[in-house]
Structure 1
Amino acid sequence: MELKKYQRKVLSAVREYAHLTVELGTGGAAYDRLLAQDGLRPGKDDIRPYADDVNGAPRVCVKVPTGGGKTYIAANALRTLTDELRVDTKAVVWLVPRKEILRQTLRQLRNPAHPLRMAIDRDFSHRVEILDKEDGLMGRGLNASSVEGQLTLFVLSYDSFKNKDGRRAYAENSSLVALTNYQKAQGEAVEVAGADDTALITALAGMHPIVVVDESHHAKSSLSLEMLRNLNPRFVLELTATPSAKSNVIARVSAQELKAEEMVKLPVIVYRRDGKTEVVQDAIMLRRRLEQIAEINEQKTGHYIRPIVLLQAERKDADNAETFRKLKAKLVDAGIPEEHIAIRTGNVDELGNVDLMSRGCPIRYVITVEALSEGWDCPFAYVLATVANKSSRTSVEQLVGRVLRQPYAQHAKSGSLNTSYVLTSSADFNETIDQVVAGLNGAGFSKRDVLASIESDDPNKTSGPVPVQGILDELAHHAENNDTEVFEGADDFDDLTIALPDENEKLPDNGSTESVPDSIDDMIRASETAEAVCAQSAKDNTDTLLGGTTGMGDDMNTFRIRDTVADTVRSLRIPRYRLEQQAGLFSDLDDTEGELFDRDSLLEHFMLAKIGTEDIRLDAMHVADAKQIDISNDSELKVRNLSDAQRRGMKELFARDSNEGRRRSAKLDLPNLMSPQVQKLYGAHGLKSFINRVVDQMSDDELEGYLDNASAYAAIISQAIKDKADAFRVREFDVERRRGDIIITPEYAFPSSVYLPNPLTTLDRTLYEAEDGGMNELELQMADSLANCEGVIWWHRVVERRKGEFYINGFINHYPDFLAMTRSGRLFVIETKGEQLKNDDSRDKLRLGNQWASDAGPNYQYFMVFGNSPMDIDGAYSFATFKSDFLNHL
């Protein structure tokens, strides 16, 4: 099987990273160097710094969406890694999350005709041994000569070394004595905590294996991490569609690349129907039409395709009966042959070892509930139809990924066979869409790969699929023009009346559907159009996406401003403060706009040497408070701690020094305990003068306690300086504003897109296609209220200190939590506060927010919203009051 372009890109990144680990000596340095080749800086650019948590072993991740061939990439990476890492003992531990995938992976790797095994045999000259846990415990294929002369590949589950059964891998094992003794003689033996020196885990650790972690998002627990460490890996390669926050991602594949390489059926089109009968009826008719198209496609390509419908039922009805069995009986009663239907749930498996892709397999309908086992990846699945009650919370999230794989990894001649379909009768269509999007997110895709459609009562209005961002207007129109009562059918499917399509009706030889104007063929024609657009977009983007070394510069986690609200922000400029620039002798008279105001400019006349020190206290209570602050508060004024060597040396000096000598030592040492940022901000001379005056006024007892509290003394002094500087900023800001040196002008424009490592896609009326999901309970309540407020056009969650984010640039830099545009054209700027945050910081933010709103004009309003009891200051409200007095009146 030939490697796809994006697969070669990923393998190239893996090869380059492995090479760099040898050249540079550490995984972290190699990670930084590799990403720098794409112009990225770990720790900045929204790229997390390298996480070194497996005893120094290089540990990296490749992100490949479902259907992208992650395991094939891993199989092809093994020779690359053994060569670049200069491995003598070629040992690999291949970890998988579940028993179903364990059995599947073993079956594939032990099959000489399977592409995974063929790739490995090619690269290792057929000198390959595939072992499972029982093989390892029995010592089969494990001796000194075999492990040196071949690739020894263990396929294990994450639970192989956990629970009671997993402890067998830590027990004494006479079958492995020869191998572990050989490892000891070669100096390769490794001690594993809690394991016998002849145990399987010890033998594996002594082989210093390369570890492949398939579906690595399942291996996030501390036990999983401990297991990795115990394996003593030489290198860890993770594969997943959804990396965890701590994954060191070195290569990323986009949905566009998969579509362009004909690996997946995109877009996914979601259709709303009025009830269960319509869902089942249309699913049957759509599947039949797709099969007719597939027969014509086979005549042209030779590829056999038998489209399958996944029917999602509820587990039990009100009488505690299994609804999936009732649904199967209903289908059989309607005339569908029983052998065409299979049930696959947690307790019932009528699929067994059936080869769904075989021409002799009759199955065309699979009834399930919430999830099929991982590893179920039949590319013949085309339609997901949910027939749960309209009020049911049964989720389609776990199933949508099962209809994505493209048969034969090759586009069919008809676009309708390159598309996935979801049919639902959910009362909350938007919720269903959110579930579909969440399911696609979990498979490595995004909201952009989903289209949605509802039937319109307006004969002049096209009811074809549209991007999900535009479906809300469709739903509103549908609701306004449909007065029929929603009927909630019974769980026993008594209301389900199925009329089968005419089995004798055939399409023309060219596959055209133009002569058949029913709703199903409308769906087919619409899907062909949508697929053509999707395919062209993927083609247009692929060259750019493949241009980088790693693909890390793509937009998989980048979200654009929604099309439906783009016009409201295109010309919007939110006021911010600027320094008024007067025209001078050498300045351009037409260039007097001034620069964006920076609060540190207020300290231009702040003379620390002239600031009083009389209010600084170094008594026991203040010292204890300072120690607590020093430990727990990540303030901008960081204090350096003394090393043990410095402390011992100072104690010796202090023991034989006079009080004056001790004061001199403190004056010399305290500036060095301050951060360089403090010295730069306030000036080394002014800082030294201030500290000298503080030390001069220290009592003998305070001086005596200095050595044991040096960092605490520095923290107290730093905080005192900060408090005085902050008070100076407030006064100076007010003076410069009144004097006209600081002005407010329309300045801030929203960036067209944002990067979100933690996107929230389930709320309505967002400014971007997603908003940041890292919110506490009160913030989520606010977001939900804004999302459900008819008077709000859009809302945006502000992420503090993100590059390009809005903040009020006054005497403090204030990043409010939310911005919300109302239909009346006013911008609400909202800061939320928990009850414990009624402090000086909140007062400063409220004071600045009120001042900014007053300066900005009547179209801007500032609110500080508390959970219950607000501060007694104008502009502060409880959440309930804000909602009732403001949101409910928009």
Structure 2
Amino acid sequence: MSAFVRKDYQQRVLESVEKYFVLCHRTGDADSAFYQATKELWQQGQKFNPLPGFATDMPYFCLRVPTGGGKTFLAASSVALANTHLLRSEHSVVLWLVPSDAIREQTLKALRQPDHPYHHALREAGAVTVMDLDEAKAITRATLDTSTVVIVSTVQAFSRESTQGLKVYASSGALMQHFDHLSAAQRDGLLQDDDGTVPFSLANVLRLRRPFLVVDEAHNARTRIRFATFERFNPSGVMELTATPDLEDVPSNVLHSVGAAELKLEQMIKLPVLLEAEPDWQVCLGDAIARRGELQKLADEEHRRGAPYLRPLVLVQAEPRRQGVETLDTARVRQELIDNQRIPPEEIVIATGEERGLEALDREFKLGIADPACPVKFVLTQKALAEGWDCPFAYVLVGLGSQQSGTAVEQLLGRVLRQPDAKARDTAALNQSYAFVRSGDFARVANELRDGLVRGAGFERKDVSQFVAAQRQDQDDLDFGGRGKLVFTPVDVALPEAPKLRTLPKSVQDKLKWDKGSKTLTITGPLTESEAEDVQQAVAGESSRVAIAQAAEASRTTAVEFFRTPAELGERLRVPQLALKLQGELQLFDDPEALDYPWDLSGYDAAPTRDDISALGAASKVAEAGKIDVADDGKLRIGFLPGLQRDLGLSYQPEHWDETRLAAWLCRNLPEPSVTHASKRAFVAAWLRALLARDGFSLARANQLKFTVRGLLQDAIRRLRREAVGNAYQQTLFGEGREDRVITSDAFAFEFNPQAYAPGRDYDGRFGQWDFRKHFYGRVGDFDSKEEFECAVQLDRLAQQGRIRYWVRNLVNKPGCAFFLQKATGRFWPDFVCELNDGSILVVEYKGAQGWTDAQDDRDIGQLWAELSGGRCRFVMVRDRRWPQIEEALA
């Protein structure tokens, strides 16, 4: 397998994880670190919610990633970050908990496979041993001392009200070696049996090693018993991965949230899902077969042009077999395919609890169902593919249940969404998913399918309207949930009798209001034909039923007005970007490292600063005894992170290295591609000699604190590089003759993708209400302050007056989704981007009085971008609600 290249959003997720780990030590507790990390990343600090039953300052966070986003890869990549930046240990124990045996087997296989991206990600942590729970019950001390050990298990293997009968808590002679020569503090922290004895159990081995917990599909593991299970292992931290985190009952600490639009932009998932509802099951199946045939022709054409092999698969969800009842079970569907649809038997496989056809394919073909030699095109199942099976060839989903709905097919939809090889095809039809559902009510199925994408796949509610669309025009006319912003005029109908609304489904009740005084039923949302029939059954009189039918017809025709955003109407928003002329060629300026600047690390004086010595002193105190505080009850308390460092220091004894070996280790663990190895080695050696020359800093102490030393060296090298880059940046962009080196060019214009707007938070009205009519997208990203919201209102008002064509709330830290200007110290993400009536671009940044002074570099680069555009672009930074500045920029 070729080397796996991280997607941009995956790199940003991992940078968030690293930032949180670093801040845990810098601030001293997980609570402050989480607030500060989220504030730096997303401009709005989030409240930290400790896990019930755990220390309130234990590092704990959640990564929210929708279906198809690569949660397992992110978890594997986080292991090295945890070792280096949180645990500060060469080796660790990672307890990787999953919800089922199917996922456990799949995860184990991938993490162990040498050429798999997941294994490569793990190996960033150095020597790694991956094992299942049975293997861990006989784990040796040498294995733990010489490698990072990843134990993959189901949550259920540990989780019970009582630990009695669970082998992980039982004493085992094979584990006795782990309990030799323990300190009193270590023994006091171990679990005991009812009689007070300390068992030689795997659970106690884990407590000694302070495992880092990775909880996959974490929404399945948030019960009181599960939390108590986690606490028994005395973990060093907890990382949750899920598409649907708990945000209400026991809120997860969502550190980073990935949007479905980001996955679409990175070619990770096939969107939109094109839906067709058909009540006749044979027609429904036949339509799916026809679609698969069309996709196969397109795939074959691309293959002849050199594209990778692709055989689109149809996943058919049949009904369960029931005794004495005729059902569309797998046997009957298979017979239909063979007899009436003329599908060869070898192209059909059944995958249920009884018939494991996919496993047979894995044995017969090297690549299983994805092997070019495999003839299978149809997979018949009931629900066995809901987890543990993944094939990028899956394109078409068919739901044949008699009561089929979007909810019923939700569990299989994730199999279809994944993009082949995570790379878009040249043909648009091969970058989409297809669903055929047995139903006579398209609108209901479409809405339930959207609900399923939110509930199960982790999509944002405002994303799904554009990501589920009708395949047929006649059904698109019925799709009120997917046709832009809906403006509805309530429909009143006078009735001689009170309807029995309580007998109706809640989704229908929510669209109705009954006024007992005036005997008027008000329809507050479009009623589908089937919903109208339900309402008619809630009244007895024929005249009432006729009136309801007429009103319902009006509710989905004359009462409905659709408002489409510029993006939905096919408008384009393109913004010229800064470009550099390098060696006669024009290049996008998106990284100051591209500048020509003198940078030789060995030329700098290498010595620890006063702050470095202070940091080492603090770390030394933690390593020796931990940070001790007096709690409210008068008892001494050691902080979580200092206590963790103490425990890990007792479990993982550092080797006694000489100065040369320590310097070599530091160089190896300082990834800095901008400098040569020789200059880095000289700098590190000189810095280390200067440290050891100080009173009180012995080689043994430096060795004990080598992770802290590594961090200080990394900070020093990065600081020196930033200074060199900053000097070159100022000279190139703002020095004499800059017009010959820098230009704002359409050759590198950033285009706002119609389906790639993914704010971390949508504006929820907390600063006030406004009907944004001229925003480029249907969603509006959140604002950092009331003043920013008011600035957006001013832009929308000017747009409605015809002075601005449309505008967009620009996002932060979302490359590919948002426009930025490169600075020497990072990227400047302006608040708003507007297109004016003549096609020129206006960029608006709002700053309050407090932020004005610190924003000088933002003003400088914004004004330079506008100045070098030849009149195509304008920039204004507004302060203190001085809205006339915006109007002046329009003149």
Q: TM-score, normalised by structure 2?
A: 0.51
Change (3 A) 1:266 1:277: same
- Which residue of structure 2 lines up, in the alignment, with residue 332 of structure 1? 338
Residue 8 of structure 2 aligns with an amino acid whose one-letter code is K
Residue 155 of structure 1 aligns with an amino acid whose one-letter code is V
Residue 406 of structure 1 aligns with an amino acid whose one-letter code is Q
Determine the C-alpha separation between the residues in 2 that align with 1:534 and 1:336: 45
- Which residue of structure 2 lines up, in the alignment, with residue 445 of structure 1? 459
Q: Secondary structure at the match of 1:384?
A: strand
Q: Secondary structure at the match of 1:336?
A: coil
Aligned Cα RMSD in Å?
Answer: 4.2
- Which residue of structure 1 lines up, in the alignment, with residue 389 of structure 2? 376
Q: Secondary structure at the match of 2:359?
A: coil
Determine the C-alpha separation between the residues in 2 that align with 1:151 and 1:455: 54
Note the C-alpha offset of 1:128.
Answer: 1.4
Residue 71 of structure 1 aligns with an amino acid whose one-letter code is T
Change (3 A) 1:167 1:429: same
- Which residue of structure 2 lines up, in the alignment, with residue 435 of structure 1? 448
Determine the C-alpha separation between the residues in 2 that align with 1:41 and 1:50: 19
Determine the C-alpha separation between the residues in 2 that align with 1:264 and 1:477: 32
Residue 317 of structure 2 aligns with an amino acid whose one-letter code is Q
For residues 327-362 of structure 1, the C-alpha deviation after alignment (integer angstroms, 9 at most, x for no partner) is: 111112232111211222344322126322211222
Change (3 A) 1:99 1:415: same
Checking the alignment, whether the CA contact within 8 Å between 1:92 and 1:152 is kept in structure 2 is yes
Note the C-alpha offset of 1:432.
Answer: 1.5
Change (3 A) 1:68 1:58: same
Checking the alignment, whether the CA contact within 8 Å between 1:454 and 1:463 is kept in structure 2 is no
Q: Secondary structure at the match of 1:83?
A: helix
Determine the C-alpha separation between the residues in 1 that align with 2:64 and 2:447: 22
Change (3 A) 1:437 1:464: closer
For residues 231-254 of structure 1, the C-alpha deviation after alignment (integer angstroms, 9 at most, x for no partner) is: 111111111111112111111111
- Which residue of structure 1 lines up, in the alignment, with residue 18 of structure 2? 15
Change (3 A) 1:422 1:166: farther
Residue 335 of structure 2 aligns with an amino acid whose one-letter code is A
Determine the C-alpha separation between the residues in 2 that align with 1:378 and 1:14: 29
Q: Secondary structure at the match of 2:369?
A: coil
Note the C-alpha offset of 1:364.
Answer: 1.0
- Which residue of structure 1 lines up, in the alignment, with residue 796 of structure 2? none
Determine the C-alpha separation between the residues in 1 that align with 2:771 and 2:764: 20
Task: Say whether 1:252 aligns with 2:257.
Answer: yes
Note the C-alpha offset of 1:11.
Answer: 0.5
- Which residue of structure 1 lines up, in the alignment, with residue 348 of structure 2? 341
Checking the alignment, whether the CA contact within 8 Å between 2:396 and 2:416 is kept in structure 1 is yes
- Which residue of structure 2 lines up, in the alignment, with residue 696 of structure 1? none
Q: Following superposition of structure 1 onto structure 2, how do residues 814-833 of structure 1 map, counting pairs within 5 Å?
A: none
Determine the C-alpha separation between the residues in 1 that align with 2:259 and 2:106: 26
Q: Following superposition of structure 1 onto structure 2, how do residues 684-699 of structure 1 map, counting pairs within 5 Å?
A: none
Residue 75 of structure 1 aligns with an amino acid whose one-letter code is A
Change (3 A) 1:178 1:236: same
Checking the alignment, whether the CA contact within 8 Å between 1:217 and 1:242 is kept in structure 2 is yes
Determine the C-alpha separation between the residues in 1 that align with 2:284 and 2:479: 17
1:399 counterpart (397, 412, 421):
412
- Which residue of structure 2 lines up, in the alignment, with residue 766 of structure 1? none
- Which residue of structure 2 lines up, in the alignment, with residue 389 of structure 1? 402
For residues 617-658 of structure 1, the C-alpha deviation after alignment (integer angstroms, 9 at most, x for no partner) is: xxxxxxxxxxxxxxxxxxxxxxxxxxxxxxxxxxxxxxxxxx
1:467 counterpart (450, 472, 482):
482
Q: Following superposition of structure 1 onto structure 2, how do residues 183-202 of structure 1 map, counting pairs within 5 Å?
A: 183-184=182-183, 187=186, 190-192=189-191, 194=193, 196-202=198-204
2:145 counterpart (132, 144, 148):
148
- Which residue of structure 2 lines up, in the alignment, with residue 35 of structure 1? 38
Q: Secondary structure at the match of 2:105?
A: helix
Determine the C-alpha separation between the residues in 1 that align with 2:98 and 2:478: 44
Q: Secondary structure at the match of 1:396?
A: helix
Q: Following superposition of structure 1 onto structure 2, how do residues 97-116 of structure 1 map, counting pairs within 5 Å?
A: 97-116=99-118
Q: Secondary structure at the match of 1:356?
A: helix
Change (3 A) 1:28 1:562: closer
Determine the C-alpha separation between the residues in 2 that align with 1:250 and 1:278: 47
Determine the C-alpha separation between the residues in 1 that align with 2:569 and 2:433: 10
Residue 453 of structure 1 aligns with an amino acid whose one-letter code is A
Change (3 A) 1:182 1:88: farther
2:268 counterpart (237, 260, 263):
263
Determine the C-alpha separation between the residues in 1 that align with 2:177 and 2:113: 30
Change (3 A) 1:542 1:151: farther
Determine the C-alpha separation between the residues in 1 that align with 2:271 and 2:66: 13
Determine the C-alpha separation between the residues in 2 that align with 1:380 and 1:417: 10
Determine the C-alpha separation between the residues in 2 that align with 1:198 and 1:462: 68
Q: Following superposition of structure 1 onto structure 2, how do residues 166-315 of structure 1 map, counting pairs within 5 Å?
A: 167-184=166-183, 187=186, 190-192=189-191, 194=193, 196-245=198-247, 246-315=251-320
Note the C-alpha offset of 1:75.
Answer: 1.0
Residue 469 of structure 2 aligns with an amino acid whose one-letter code is A
Determine the C-alpha separation between the residues in 1 that align with 2:52 and 2:333: 52
Checking the alignment, whether the CA contact within 8 Å between 1:419 and 1:531 is kept in structure 2 is no
Residue 62 of structure 2 aligns with an amino acid whose one-letter code is C
Q: Following superposition of structure 1 onto structure 2, how do residues 546-625 of structure 1 map, counting pairs within 5 Å?
A: 553-555=760-762
Q: Secondary structure at the match of 2:300?
A: helix
Note the C-alpha offset of 1:26.
Answer: 1.4
Q: Secondary structure at the match of 1:251?
A: strand
Change (3 A) 1:198 1:88: farther
Percent identity reads: 30
Q: Following superposition of structure 1 onto structure 2, how do residues 47-66 of structure 1 map, counting pairs within 5 Å?
A: 49=49, 53-55=53-55, 56-66=57-67
Q: TM-score, normalised by structure 1?
A: 0.51
Residue 347 of structure 2 aligns with an amino acid whose one-letter code is H
Residue 386 of structure 1 aligns with an amino acid whose one-letter code is G
Change (3 A) 1:392 1:149: closer
Q: Following superposition of structure 1 onto structure 2, how do residues 582-731 of structure 1 map, counting pairs within 5 Å?
A: none
Count matched residues.
Answer: 507
Determine the C-alpha separation between the residues in 2 that align with 1:305 and 1:338: 20
Q: Secondary structure at the match of 1:271?
A: strand
Residue 361 of structure 1 aligns with an amino acid whose one-letter code is C
2:154 counterpart (137, 157, 168):
157
Note the C-alpha offset of 1:453.
Answer: 2.3
- Which residue of structure 1 lines up, in the alignment, with residue 377 of structure 2? 364
Q: Secondary structure at the match of 2:469?
A: strand
Residue 169 of structure 1 aligns with an amino acid whose one-letter code is V
Determine the C-alpha separation between the residues in 2 that align with 1:391 and 1:64: 27
Determine the C-alpha separation between the residues in 1 that align with 2:357 and 2:573: 36
Determine the C-alpha separation between the residues in 1 that align with 2:474 and 2:448: 26
- Which residue of structure 2 lines up, in the alignment, with residue 352 of structure 1? 359
Determine the C-alpha separation between the residues in 2 that align with 1:558 and 1:225: 35
Q: Any unmatched runs of 5+ in structure 2? A: 363-367, 489-524, 534-566, 576-749, 775-807, 810-891
Q: Secondary structure at the match of 1:437?
A: helix
Checking the alignment, whether the CA contact within 8 Å between 2:317 and 2:382 is kept in structure 1 is yes
Note the C-alpha offset of 1:174.
Answer: 0.7
Determine the C-alpha separation between the residues in 1 that align with 2:295 and 2:770: 32
Change (3 A) 1:52 1:222: closer
Change (3 A) 1:19 1:39: same
